Chain A
């Protein structure tokens, strides 16, 4: 088996699955019906991407593990999603800030991944890119509406931007796995996303009359399985069915 390709596919799958799980928590609780449907739709896109990626990771691993086993039967330290996606929903502004930061990264990321020498990753990227464009537009519109809204919505949006800012640095991190796969033409070098990401964020925050935080210390660790205290709680909810009824199928 190709260990690196397995690890890399798995972390992309984990990012998508965990963000999908977080967004799914809004189902039935969002501020308006349209947003409830909107957030659930975005969750569904991420879960769909996760399914395709987990299935492929299982094939690469070649030990017979399927999407359910990889998503629902691994332990906390085995997950390699970035810390940003596991952060709690908080208020609506925090959910939107998390989605905006992530989608502003993933749209150019998937665009580049379409040229990967790995055909399956390239095919998944071609689908995911179109979805990421909607996610970015949706979250950017909300950043502007809340930032340039009332005094309270402005304050909350600014607080959310500052709260989640330290988790954005991890998106651009490249460990040995990524570097080796970049050299083979399979992975996308996340460092090359920094400028385009920064431009998108700057433009939208400017329109939203919000301040862009200074680049500074970044909290990282998710890629090597060191997660925030919220993560174990997320897994207990997400993995409950497969833990309680192993092998359960729809």
Chain B
């Protein structure tokens, strides 16, 4: 991995992907916008003289708007699966409110004396609408379309989470991989896109009344044109891989699969939040999961054996600021209470309880500590604050809750938790900037994402659990003054997963088997 590669260099190197993602992004934005205008405009016109319907429809559209975008995408999965359809549906819902509301407001805002005199001249309802109300309301309507466009360009980045493509692939990949160039390669074009589309619409909006009549025709044509950029991902494949943005960009991920195994299957980018379910529902065949993930158990997936050892060990251990250990002398001891306590199957089970049985991480943590006889009632201490952080998935939530109970039960310190800090980069930066004191990290992540060793160093480590741990411990202390405490026990490594039934049917046990199978088809 070259650390010194410039942003421009990255964009040139990845220009194929960048271009495809940009087109997909424009396509997603414009298709959803087109549908939103096609439905929102008539709806806005229809409610303009119906007070009760207006209240109901604006209310519903308003509620849709308040659903957090990632949640809305989540709701879409059971209904529409993954890919373009749910993404467009979600974006459409976001674009709907500004379009309806501005159409409604625009038409209501037309001077009643003007529409009345239009009727008095002998225009029928349709003529009044087309010749008077719409042209006069057009600047307000277009302002709504502009708002919707900018919202959609932004929200469309999240489409990458459900295999619909777009610039979010780079953005979330970059965040996960601590690769600033990759983030910018997604974020800058997305920002430019918002600015350019907004600017184009502002030209239409500012056009004077006379041109407006023609300009309002230009809009749908323009949208249709942009929409056609989007080519729906071809889902009719024998084997379809769905990988997280992070996995896609990693040497110990998709890149390694390609170079070491020669695996070449069609892939889509998807969030790990929906990946397992999508595999279960046969929307995807191969996914990149974590070996301790509870959903493995829930969705009856099996992991493929990594027979060429491209996935390095990912032993979890608390990563703590050196100065916090010095400031709070009790901390190291209490954190180490958990060392070696949780193996792979225990962790999978804990994760299963949260991810699948929907138990709260607090309850799962409590049950676990009770079972192990480690639980002590909180002392409600006040002699210092420990700030714990976590990444945004169940395992980390559970670990944080366990640590919180251990710390508060065994010492007089108080715990502040900052959970859900996104990916590795966000957690690591928070730790480095002294916003948190500790978060659970994985040795493999520390090695590959944060330290980025040379190929020679990698060869020397050779995927050994102990050597990797010693290496990251030494380097982190040296480079960042951060300390790795003793590993908790389990190895949450990357793994390729398939449905048990499909794997058995085709006798796929290892990644090499998968390659052979994929090549045959």
- Co-assembled chains A and B: no
Chain A residues close to B by CB (< 8 Å):
none
Chain B residues close to A by CB (< 8 Å):
none
